[in-house]
Amino acid sequence: MNPQMVLTTGQDALVMLLTVSMPLLGVVMVVGLVVSIFQAITQISEATLSFVPKLIAAIAVFAMIGPWMLTTLVDYLRRMIEAIPSYVA
What residues does each domain of the chain span? Answer: 11-88
Quickly count: other Cβ atoms within 10 Å of residue 55's Cβ: 13
For residue 66, the one-letter residue type is: G
pLDDT 10s per residue in the chain (89 long)?
Answer: 788 888 999 999 999 999 999 999 999 999 999 999 999 999 888 878 889 999 999 999 999 999 999 999 999 999 999 998 988 87
Q: Residue 32: its pLDDT value, please?
A: 93
The pTM is what?
0.80
CA distances from 35 to 17, 26, 76 (A): 27, 14, 35
Mapped onto helix, strand or coil, the DSSP state of residue 67 is: helix
Q: Residue 22: its pLDDT value, please?
A: 96
